[in-house]
Amino acid sequence: MQNSLVKHWKKLGTTRKERDKFAEFLVEGFHLTEEALKKKDLVKSLIVREGVEVPAEWDVENVPQYSVTAAVSKEISETEHSQGIFAHCAQPEFSADEQQTWNTLLLVDAVQDPGNIGTMIRTAAASGIDAVILGKGSADPFNPKTVRSAQGSHFQIPVVKGELPEWVAQLKERGIPIFGTALLNATPVHEVESRNQFALIVGNEGSGVDPLLLKETDQNLVVPLYGPAESLNVAVATGILLYGLVSKS
């Protein structure tokens, strides 16, 4: 338990400071580990509890493996019933040239719940969005709860932490339409045509999108409420908006 590597794995699961400092994170369980291995350049090592077997079909020939005791596995696990297998991963990096190829983007303004962030990342990947940009005040995309909620989508779609005003300015320079989300002076999403290029900004359920960002949008959208509910969960609303905007062609 006092091994320095074990301490590092533990901190990757419990502190954002450690994840940010080393640009690493930990995933847990067979499904997430298998998804991580599809991006071999990101997996630094596998951590396997004694008695747990790595599936024969996994290509792990060049991936370092550590066998750990049940006590160590429990120490680094973030789940109640751990499957005893983990991947120690590097956080993906994306060059400026790569970012210039992203034509459909989800921009997230200060959404604080890790489960919602994970669901939004997963939904963005499912709807074919090119990238997710998380602004200040948003939950850490590499928080274990976020990673579990995203169900492997971190390895399928670029997820970047950034300054949303800077991103909005860059996207406007490229001629990409910017859609905000608001309750007032907003167009119902089903009245907007789908398209091959757009950026959608969503905000937290309490205060919504920063008014300074809304001033920069080309159009603001709303999901109509037909029943007595006062609002939608931000992740659910994001899914409706993305599928309303994304081109089917």
Asked whether residue 233 carries a pLDDT value surpassing 80, the answer given is: yes
249: pLDDT strictly greater than 70: no
Q: State mean pLDDT over 236-249.
A: 92
Domain residues of the chain, as ranges? 4-90, 96-245
What is the value of pTM for the model shown? Answer: 0.96
Which is more confidently placed, 249 or 28?
28
* Rounded average pLDDT over 176-188: 96
* pLDDT (mean) for 190-198: 96
Q: What is the mean pLDDT of the chain?
A: 96
End-to-end CA distance of the chain: 53
Instruction: Give the pLDDT score at 248.
Output: 73
pLDDT for residue 40 = 77
Question: Are 226 and 113 a contacting pair, CB within 8 Å?
Answer: no
Q: Residues 82-134: pLDDT tens digits?
A: 999 999 999 999 999 999 999 999 999 999 999 999 999 999 999 999 999 99
- Which runs of E-coded beta strand occur in the chain? 24-28, 43-49, 65-68, 85-90, 104-109, 131-134, 159-161, 178-181, 187-188, 198-203, 219-222
The span from the CA of 96 to the CA of 73, in Å, is 38
**Above 80 in pLDDT, residue 72?**
yes
Tell me the C-alpha distance between 50 and 67, whole Å. Answer: 6
Closest CA to 185 of 209, 154, 205, 166: 209
Side chain identity at 113, as an amino acid letter? D
β-strand 187-188 against 159-161: which pairing, if any? Answer: unpaired
Distance separating alpha carbons of residues 90 and 93, to the nearest angstrom: 9
Instruction: Give residue 160's pLDDT.
Output: 97
Which carries the bigger pLDDT value, residue 86 or residue 249?
86
CATH fold, domain 4-90, is 60s Ribosomal Protein L30; Chain: A; (3.30.1330)
92 contact partners, CB below 8 Å, separation of at least 6 = 39, 42, 154, 158, 159
Once rounded to an integer, what is the mean pLDDT over residues 168-173?
98
Q: What is the CATH number of domain 96-245?
A: 3.40.1280.10
Task: Express as a percent the part of the chain with pLDDT over 70.
Answer: 100
Give which of 180, 130, 203 is closest to 160, Cα–Cα. 130
Domain pair 4-90 / 96-245, same fold? no
Q: Which amino acid would we find at residue 165? A: P
Pairing of strands 43-49, 187-188: unpaired
pLDDT top residue among 27 and 206: 27
- Judge whether 47 and 76 are in contact, CB under 8 Å: yes
* pLDDT > 90: percent of the chain: 96
